[in-house]
Chain A
Amino acid sequence: MKILVLISNVPDTTTKIRFTGDNKAFDTTGVQWIINPWDELALTRAMELKEAGGVEKISVANVGTKITEPTLRKALAVGADDAIRIDAEPLDAYFVAKQLAEVAKDYDLIMAGIEASDYNGASVGGMLAEILGINSVSAVSGVDIENGELKIHRDIDGGSQVLSVPTPLVVIVQKGIAIDPRIPAMRGIMMARKKPLKVVEPVEAEPRIEFLSYELPAPKAACKMVDEDNAKELIRLLHEEAKVL
């Protein structure tokens, strides 16, 4: 089985979010870039599956300009066999999915994160599957390979299920897929330098949505404090003032 893990390059979780003067674009100055946390967990699970046998190759793919290469190198250092970068600005989820479809055709299992922590779109995995005309499973919290077949655990609203779905397949992964992300070891970092990172040209695709402007949330009103010894007052406030009880 060949696995492709989709990698989104996102600002580090603790980044203070700022926009350019006219609020029309994200200000990337000084931003530390990381592998999207869900994609990192997907890659970790892919590595575990490979170590258990039954996976020939793991590739990673990203749509992005040259600035995303350190992120792809990190994925190689974690253990991916090769990396593909589609050299384009990721304009919207459809544009990204269309690019990825070009390189995803040769894989049995494609793993996407449930969302990217920048635009929170939760769209690329599903769009990619539809463009390829193959099935997808979302909210996946477990992937196992048994006798060459996939066994998938997914969350449904109000419970969970175990599924069997034939390949080729896109799984859109979330919490539970792996416990902790794998950190590259020194050996991995050395080897990553020699692993192939292929750069391919984008195909024609029109983005369908457009980010017009951004706003930061209005500053929150100060927290109303209640005395520890008079905690009952809190329930009164929630009942009479906030009206949530």
Chain B
Amino acid sequence: MSVLVYTENWAGKFKKLTHEIVSFAAAIAKEMGSSVTALSIGHVADDELKTLGQYGANKVLNVQDDRFESLDNKALADAVAKAAEKEGAKVIIFAHNNEGKAIAPRVAVKLNAGLVSGVTGLPVSVDPFVVRKKVFTGKAFANVQINTDVKVITFAQNSYEVVENPTEVTIEVFDPQIGDDEFSTKVLDTHKITGKVLLTDAEIVVSGGRGMKGPENWGGLEELGELLGAGMACSRPVSDEGWRSHEEHVGQTGKIIAPNLYMAFGISGAIQHLGGISSSKYIVAVNKDPEAPIFEAADYGIVGDAFKVIPQLIEAVKELKANK
């Protein structure tokens, strides 16, 4: 019996999210008295696979098959289900991101398992298996019980600390034996965003709204973002006006993010905007209007002109870095 974790690598390296999710799985396995198996699909060197042992993985199943590079949902789900069956996995954990959301529901059907997505912490109990998740786009929480023998969950990023928990780890090559006819996704073109901090990965996000007045005023925010190693975001009207790329739009109809720190400049904090950022650990708001709803969601705030505040912040961050 084991807890199976679906890991994701980027160009052969695991990111913090994978370490988080393996740590999370290790904590669940401990409570259930079982072990942790990590499934890695793609080209990851053995040395890198072994690092998962740092966070509590007992075994790594290593699938190396170029056909999976097309990220075909049907074939991927088949591979995960076969790994789960081989390991006798009772709990299967995915990240609540593009890949996890794509595969987990299919795996749940294959294994006759109940699925809860966007789980925000360790189970409330493991027997019965009850987890907590956000509902109504962050306006409430629900306690949800999974009533099937096998359970599938997707884990909301930033919901658990990375815990060092060095374990003896074995690496095993695994061939799930998927037929060619399972793969029907053909990739015609791939566009990778390079050189920028990815918004969905970023631990700090610097964001601007209509209060920034125009695309020509983003220099200060860019500089602040760069100093902080932050991802850049914006409110919907900003991307609708074409001031910033659609890639940066966060909110109910944009990207949903959960960084450690979200800094909103000239953003009113409409409910649809908050829907995409309310899981941030800390929210900072800079707004001229003391009545702006963003201050109800914020932890730290400045009532003031963004154009006066941003240069001061840049200077303070430079000083902080110089003293570190």
CB of A64 closer than 8 Å to a CB of B: no
A214 & B147 in contact (Cβ 8 Å cutoff): no
CA distance A19 to B142 in the complex (A): 11
CA distance A19 to B141 in the complex (A): 11
CB of A130 closer than 8 Å to a CB of B: yes
CA distance A92 to B103 in the complex (A): 18
Residue of B nearest to A210 (CB): B145
Shortest A37–chain B CB gap in Å is 6
The interface residues of chain A lying within 8 Å CB-to-CB of B303 are 225, 228
B320 & A175 in contact (Cβ 8 Å cutoff): no
CB of A127 closer than 8 Å to a CB of B: yes
B299 & A164 in contact (Cβ 8 Å cutoff): no
CB of B106 closer than 8 Å to a CB of A: yes
Q: A135-B74, A139-B102 are in contact. Are A209 and B140 (CB under 8 A)?
A: no
Contact with B along A125-164 (1 / 0, CB 8 A): 1110111001111110000000000010001111111111
The interface residues of chain A lying within 8 Å CB-to-CB of B137 are 13, 117, 120
CA distance A216 to B139 in the complex (A): 7
Q: Give the contacting residue for A122; candidates B118, B139, B254; CB below 8 A.
A: B118
A212 & B73 in contact (Cβ 8 Å cutoff): no
CB of A239 closer than 8 Å to a CB of B: yes
Q: A13-B271, A135-B73, A157-B200 are in contact. Are A210 and B300 (CB under 8 A)?
A: no
Chain A interface residue count, Cβ-Cβ cutoff 8 angstroms: 80
The interface residues of chain A lying within 8 Å CB-to-CB of B186 are 163-165
Contact with B along A1-29 (1 / 0, CB 8 A): 00000000001011101010000000000
Contact with A along B185-207 (1 / 0, CB 8 A): 11111111100001011011000
A139 & B101 in contact (Cβ 8 Å cutoff): yes
CB of B77 closer than 8 Å to a CB of A: yes
CA distance A37 to B254 in the complex (A): 11
Residues facing A in B251-309 (CB within 8 A) are 252-255, 260-261, 271-272, 275, 281-282, 284-285, 295-305, 308-309
Q: A213-B143, A226-B302 are in contact. Are A127 and B133 (CB under 8 A)?
A: no
B141 & A129 in contact (Cβ 8 Å cutoff): no
CB of A186 closer than 8 Å to a CB of B: no
B252 & A213 in contact (Cβ 8 Å cutoff): no
CB of B178 closer than 8 Å to a CB of A: no
Shortest B220–chain A CB gap in Å is 12
B108 & A120 in contact (Cβ 8 Å cutoff): no
Residues facing A in B117-163 (CB within 8 A) are 117-118, 130, 133-148, 154
Q: Give the contacting residue for B140; candidates A19, A125, A139, A220; CB below 8 A.
A: A19
A228 & B304 in contact (Cβ 8 Å cutoff): yes
B313 & A137 in contact (Cβ 8 Å cutoff): no
The interface residues of chain A lying within 8 Å CB-to-CB of B228 are 245
B305 & A234 in contact (Cβ 8 Å cutoff): no
Shortest A180–chain B CB gap in Å is 9
CB of B83 closer than 8 Å to a CB of A: no
The interface residues of chain B lying within 8 Å CB-to-CB of A217 are 138-141
Contact with A along B244-256 (1 / 0, CB 8 A): 0010010011110
CB of B8 closer than 8 Å to a CB of A: yes
A157 & B184 in contact (Cβ 8 Å cutoff): no
The interface residues of chain B lying within 8 Å CB-to-CB of A118 are 135-136
CB of B116 closer than 8 Å to a CB of A: yes
Q: Give the contacting residue for B136; candidates A117, A151, A210; CB below 8 A.
A: A117
Q: A11-B136, A93-B115, A127-B109 are in contact. Are A158 and B313 (CB under 8 A)?
A: no
The interface residues of chain A lying within 8 Å CB-to-CB of B113 are 208
Shortest B75–chain A CB gap in Å is 9
Residue of B nearest to A216 (CB): B140
B187 & A161 in contact (Cβ 8 Å cutoff): yes
A160 & B299 in contact (Cβ 8 Å cutoff): no
CB of B177 closer than 8 Å to a CB of A: no
Q: Give the contacting residue for B110; candidates A37, A130, A208, A239; CB below 8 A.
A: A130
CB of A42 closer than 8 Å to a CB of B: no
Q: A126-B73, A126-B104, A239-B320 are in contact. Are A225 and B98 (CB under 8 A)?
A: no
Q: Give the contacting residue for B147; candidates A161, A175, A209, A235; CB below 8 A.
A: A209
Contact with B along A222-242 (1 / 0, CB 8 A): 011111100110111111001
CB of B315 closer than 8 Å to a CB of A: yes
Q: Give the contacting residue for B253; candidates A19, A37, A164, A236; CB below 8 A.
A: A37
5 shortest interchain CB distances as A-B pairs: A228-B304, A126-B105, A208-B114, A138-B102, A235-B316
B binding-site residues for A, Cβ under 8 Å:
8, 10, 70-74, 77, 96-99, 101-106, 108-110, 112-118, 130, 133-148, 154, 184-193, 198, 200-201, 203-204, 228, 246, 249, 252-255, 260-261, 271-272, 275, 281-282, 284-285, 295-305, 308-309, 312-313, 315-317, 319-320
Apart from A136-B73, A214-B140: 13 A-B pairs, beta carbons within 8 A: A122-B117, A126-B73, A127-B109, A139-B102, A160-B191, A208-B113, A214-B135, A214-B141, A215-B142, A228-B304, A231-B302, A234-B316, A242-B261
- The 22 sampled A-B contact pairs (Cβ below 8 Å) are A13-B272, A14-B271, A115-B101, A126-B73, A127-B115, A131-B109, A151-B188, A157-B98, A158-B201, A163-B186, A209-B115, A213-B143, A217-B138, A217-B140, A226-B300, A231-B308, A232-B312, A234-B313, A235-B320, A238-B284, A242-B300, A244-B260
